[in-house]
Amino acid sequence: MSDYEAVIGLEVHIELHTKRKIFCFCEIKEDPAPNTQTCEVCTSMPGTLPVMNREVVEFAVKAGLAVGGTINHMSQMDRKNYFYPDLPKAYQISQNEHPIVSGGKVDIETEAGQKTIRLTRIHMEEDAGKLVHIEGEGTLVDCNRAGVPLIEIVSEPDIRSAEEAIAFLKKLRAIMVYTGITLARMQEGEMRCDVNLSVRKKGDKTLGTRTEMKNINSFAFVGKAIEGEFKRQVDVLEAGGTIIQETRRFDDKTGQSTSMRTKEDADDYRYFPDPDLVPIRLEDKEIEALKSEIPELPDARKARYIKDFDISAYDAERLTDERDMADYFEKAAKATTAPKTIANILISDMPNLQKDHPLPDPVKLAELADLQADGEINSSTAKKVLSALLETGVSPRQYVAEHDLLQINDEATLLPFVLEVLKERASVAEDYKAGKKKALQSLIGMVMQKTKGRANPVLIRTLLEDRLK
Amino acid sequence: MIDKVNQMTISELSEGLRTREFSAEELTRHSLQMIEQKEPELNAFITVTAERAIEDAKAADKRLATKAETNPLLGIPGALKDNVCTKGIRTTCASKTLENFVPPYSATVADRLADAGMVLLGKVNMDEFAMGQTSETSYFGATKNPRNTNRVPGGSSGGSAAAVAGDEAVFAIGSDTGGSILQPSAFCGVIGLRPSYGLVSRNGIVAFASSLDQAGPITRTVKDNALVLNAIAGHDPRDTTSLHVREPDYTVGITDGVKGLTFGLPTEFFGEGLAESIKDAVLDVAKKLESLGATIKEVSLPSLKFALPAYVLISSAEASSNLARFDGIHYGYRAEGAESLDDVYVKTRSEGFGAEVKRRLMLGTFALSSGYYDAYYKKAQQIRTLIGSEFKRVFASVSMLIAPVAPVTAWPLGQSITDPVQLYLNDIYTVPIGMAGLPALSLPVAKDEDGLPIGLQLIGNRFQERLLYRAGVSIEEVTR
Ligand SMILES: [Zn+2]
């Protein structure tokens, strides 16, 4: 097994978050009832013609610019002909010979370090409808999705493992979401992936016969599919067999893939330029204008956060995964003197608390971070205040004042509590003196309890240690 | 008065409506009566919309009463080829597969004519999916030529030409891919215009070959033709291949005569296979034009010999994709008793389409197949480019071309349907026009020894429809 390596190329379909469909004026809504988001064009009534939605072109150009691809000044829509019940025209309008974007790259980071995955192309196409199987009624067609705009991003076979594939997909998703062209919600099927995989002996330069697994819609399944298919191909070769070029169906329930069709009975798509759609021309001016609309992308942000906010690379990566989170972090970080504390709250504390609440006002979160970083409240108080902030949106400073939660940082105030505990729990103190170091922790806890959690824990420790010498 | 309307032009009819010599309803009832009388023999109509026509006519009479309305088509009864979608009225493309298709929307052409006040008499016959030269491939039976009912009316817009020639409709809309307006107009002795590609919206016209299809008017006179074009031409946001190029009024200057115009006689249109009588008739018109002050000049377009095979490949290829949606699941007839999905497709399409359509779909599918694409489809596109540039070169030195429409006049019904290649060859003079996206006007100039109309065509540079009408009016005068 370890003598072999996988050679993987991915084809990623991403749904563009445009207002309208690609070739008609139907608005794209959330969860419409079956066949309510349709018109005579997207249901492909005889006689209807597609009209290119310019917003789709602009989004595809932005996608290309975001990955450093070349925007082609002339591109063309083609017809991909095949019969299937979910395809009302019996052809899909896509791009074959002249895609809108050529080339591009995505930099990924895995445990092995940095790597660049090259892209072949990005092209625009329309989604098909959806087949709904209803017990007793048979199979029905819902055309709501027909004509929803997609881009397909095709990578070079530069990927060598499931880990790299997942890192690539995550980074690609982040870039596209940042660019504002897609929501790429995996569970909604807004990002799907075909995996092309072959194996070869390490060091070999030629490519083996590849198989294709279609329509995988989660990062985890992509990982599973790659690992399973890699093993299957190696097993076949080790047993003296040969790999057949074929399309395989990945079953996310079993984690296995099964053969769908081989090359011999593969569809001949009979691509040809769609005569209903004039070639798409783009001027430099227009491309430059779109370029200026592309926001700072995840890699650039990550680098800036490390530099400007002095947070770790790990934290920066996690905070820049999602654009919304990054934007939020940045707002809060700019309003505080303690961006690291913001990062900690967002990465460690928030995910457990935030489930039922929207993110609070970033300026208020910054206030909380300041209170904590300046030692005005301790970390357990900070958690309490954070909960209150999430629930009611109260100002942390006000909350702390109203609930008398300021940390006790002066010896004079704290010492009476310490002495009281030592008196009441003399036996525990004796344990500590006898060498039971754990006992100190329990004494600290008791002092904390007496101060209703407001004491500075470091100061308690110092005072206790002094008295127990 | 009403018994004379069969001989009247749109302008005259419009005048009659405005002066209340007759009402739109009377005119319409007259047309419906003509239809009732002639249909048993001609079979020009697939669907007669008598009720709709009377409604349209009553509405037109109301509009006419206000006197503010000046559109010359207001209250004029016309017909649409049955590949032009009409909301609520079945649109069959003369195919079994669309026998019961009732579109929920109307073609832009239909909407524009309705806005102009046309009275819709019905939907007229054609070759199935506009594939054919005789209108005999219709699932609804052949149409007969009103000039001689033993003859074909031509095709594919045979019903449109026959309805006008048979005085059932004052005008009709046809569609032209490789001669489907020009040739039936010639066969039936009426005026047909194939507009430049991009002048008339294709939205709602069931596609045969998208890069070639254009709808156009078939009328009794050249001026009538210009009046109908006025109503239908112009950019449509629903068809991005339609352009912002229309003239404000296609009748302007059409009586200016031909003095100072140069007509090209293309050598390739007068070669082997052309009937003597047709050749003589066209050359005779050329002489008459010369005597009116026009210049006649011989020109050559050597690539035209490749036009027909290239046309067959491109049109069939596009058709194979355009007609794929008639799969029995989304649109069209569905066969009974299929046992699998593939079976549904095979049975449905075998039973739903006629022989000529299937022949072209197979040819087109083959031409696009992997391994053959470059040799056939791509090569054909290169030829198309070549033809376009040859025409361009010729139009640098001539105003328009003058040529026969077809090598023969209307042949007997049932004669040709057995030999498709021979049949395709009859298109040699019209396919290059569509391939180059040019406009052409077909008009009757004489009769042959059997008394059948002989058609002549004027081929213009792109969007020179007005110039064609201008020469057409002169020819109309000298051949009357
Ligand atoms: Zn739609």
Nearest to A44 among B98, B101, B330 (CB): B330
pLDDT at A434 (0 to 100): 87
**C-alpha neighbours within 13 Å on the C-beta side of residue B15:** 7
Cα B150 to the center of its chain, rounded Å: 22
Please indicate, yes or no, if residue A400 is contained in any of the structural domains: no
CB contact under 8 A, B341 and A85: yes
Instruction: Name beta bridge partners: A273.
Output: A78
Please tell me which residue in B156, B303, B316, B474 is annotated as part of the active site: B156
Superfamily name and number for B2-232: Amidase signature (AS) domain (3.90.1300.10)
pLDDT at A466 (0 to 100): 87
Please indicate, yes or no, if residue A401 is contained in any of the structural domains: no
Chain B CB contacts of A85 below 8 Å: 329-330, 341
For residue B156, whether the previous peptide bond is cis, meaning omega lies within 30 degrees of 0, is yes
A451 has a pLDDT exceeding 80: yes
Q: Could you read off the pLDDT of A322-349 as tens digits, one per residue? A: 888 899 999 999 999 999 999 998 988 8
Residue ranges of chain B whose pLDDT lies below 70: 1, 417-418
A2 has a pLDDT exceeding 80: no
Q: What is the DSSP string of A6-56?
A: EEEEEEEEEE---SB-SSS-PBP-SSPPTT-S--TTTTT-TT------HHH
- What is the rounded average pLDDT of the residues A117-130? 97
CB contact under 8 A, A88 and B210: no
SS3 sequence of A182-197: CCCCHHHCCEEEEEEE
Q: How far is B107 from chain A (nearest CA, A)?
A: 8
* Last residue within a domain, chosen from A394, A419, A445: A394
CATH number for the domain spanning A457: value is 1.10.10.410
Is B210 tagged catalytic? no
Q: How far is B186 from chain A (nearest CA, A)?
A: 27
Q: Could you read off the pLDDT of B144-158 as tens digits, one per residue? A: 999 999 999 999 999
Specify whether A213 is located in the same domain as A319: no
Segments forming the whole domain that contains residue A444: 411-468
- Long-range own/partner contacts, residues A306-311 (CB < 8 A, 24 or more apart): A309/A333, A309/A339, A309/A340, A309/A343, A310/A339, A310/A340, A311/A339, A311/A340, A311/A343
pLDDT at B355 (0 to 100): 94
Specify whether A221 is located in the same domain as A358: no
Residue of A nearest to B107 (CA): A47
Nearest to A51 among B205, B210, B238 (CB): B238
Q: How many interface pairs between A and B have CB atoms less than 8 angstroms apart?
A: 103
Question: Distance from the CA of A46 to the center of ligand 1, in angstroms?
Answer: 14
pLDDT at A433 (0 to 100): 87
Q: Which site among B200, B242, B321 would you substitute to test the A interface, given the most A Cβ atoms closer than 10 Å to its Cβ?
A: B321
Is B96 tagged catalytic? no
Crossing angle, helix A162-179 and helix A54-66, to 10 degrees? 130
When the pLDDT of each residue in chain A is averaged and rounded to a whole number, the result is 92
φ/ψ bin of B253: left (φ > 0), alpha (ψ from -120 to 50), beta (otherwise): left
Chain A CB contacts of B434 below 8 Å: none
Choose the weakest-confidence range: A34-38, A207-211, A353-357.
A353-357
Residue of B nearest to A129 (CA): B330
Specify whether A382 is located in the same domain as A422: no
Tell me the range of A298-312, A313-327, A366-380 where mean pLDDT is highest: A298-312
pLDDT at B297 (0 to 100): 97
CB contact under 8 A, B331 and A44: yes
Q: Which of A398, A396, A403 is nearest to A372 (CA)?
A: A396
pLDDT at B21 (0 to 100): 95
Nearest to B324 among A89, A141, A278 (CB): A89
- At residue A351 the predicted structure's pLDDT band, cuts being 50, 70 and 90, is confident
Q: Which site among B90, B99, B241, B329 would you substitute to test the A interface, given the most A Cβ atoms closer than 10 Å to its Cβ?
A: B329
Residue of B nearest to A85 (CA): B329
The answer to whether B158 touches B166, Cβ cutoff 8 Å, is: no
* Last residue within a domain, chosen from A288, A322, A339: A288
Specify whether A238 is located in the same domain as A374: no
pLDDT at A426 (0 to 100): 87
A86-115: b (≥16 Cβ within 10 Å) or e: bbbbbbbbbbbebbbbbbbebbbeeeeeeb
Q: How far is B329 from chain A (nearest CA, A)?
A: 7
Distances (CA, A) of A77 to A271, A277, B371: 10, 7, 21
Token pair recorded at residue B145? 């030529």
Please indicate, yes or no, if residue A294 is contained in any of the structural domains: no
Is B81 tagged catalytic? yes
pLDDT at B417 (0 to 100): 60
User: Which amino acid does the sequence have at A300?
Assistant: A
pLDDT at A1 (0 to 100): 61
* Last residue within a domain, chosen from A394, A428, A445: A394
Question: Distance from the CA of A19 to the center of ligand 1, in angstroms?
Answer: 12
A352 has a pLDDT exceeding 90: no
Specify whether A276 is located in the same domain as A336: no
Q: Could you read off the pLDDT of A234-282 as tens digits, one per residue? A: 999 999 999 999 999 988 888 788 888 777 667 799 999 999 999 999 9
Specify whether A309 is located in the same domain as A284: no
pLDDT at A321 (0 to 100): 85
User: Which amino acid does the sequence have at A203?
Assistant: G
Instruction: Name beta bridge partners: A74.
Output: A281
Specify whether A18 is located in the same domain as A163: yes
Q: Which of A168, A177, A233, A238 is nearest to A207 (CA)?
A: A233
State how far the Cα of B271 lies from the Cα of B275, in Å rounded to an integer: 10
Q: Which site among A276, A278, A280 would you substitute to test the B interface, given the most B Cβ atoms closer than 10 Å to its Cβ?
A: A276
Specify whether A178 is located in the same domain as A236: yes
Please indicate, yes or no, if residue A406 is contained in any of the structural domains: no
Token pair recorded at residue B298? 């011989």
Q: How far is A71 from chain B (nearest CA, A)?
A: 23
Q: Domain residue spans in chain B?
A: 2-232
Specify whether A220 is located in the same domain as A257: yes
Q: How far is A279 from chain B (nearest CA, A)?
A: 10
Question: Distance from the CA of A286 to the center of ligand 1, in angstroms?
Answer: 27
Specify whether A38 is located in the same domain as A144: yes
Number of independent structural domains in chain A: 3
Token pair recorded at residue B168? 């059932």
Please indicate, yes or no, if residue A298 is contained in any of the structural domains: no
Higher pLDDT among residues A112 and B461, named by residue: B461
pTM: 0.90
Specify whether A334 is located in the same domain as A278: no
When the pLDDT of each residue in chain B is averaged and rounded to a whole number, the result is 96
Nearest to B329 among A47, A52, A85 (CB): A85
Chain A CB contacts of B238 below 8 Å: 49, 51
Higher pLDDT among residues A352 and A229, named by residue: A229
Nearest to B240 among A45, A88, A277 (CB): A277
CB contact under 8 A, B321 and A270: yes
pLDDT at A264 (0 to 100): 65
State how far the Cα of A141 lies from the Cα of A376, in Å rounded to an integer: 62
CB contact under 8 A, B210 and A275: yes
∠ CA B399-B430-B112, nearest 5°, is 80
Q: How far is A361 from chain B (nearest CA, A)?
A: 46
Specify whether A278 is located in the same domain as A353: no
Q: What is the DSSP string of B153-185?
A: --SSTHHHHHHHHTTS-SEEEEEESSSTTHHHH
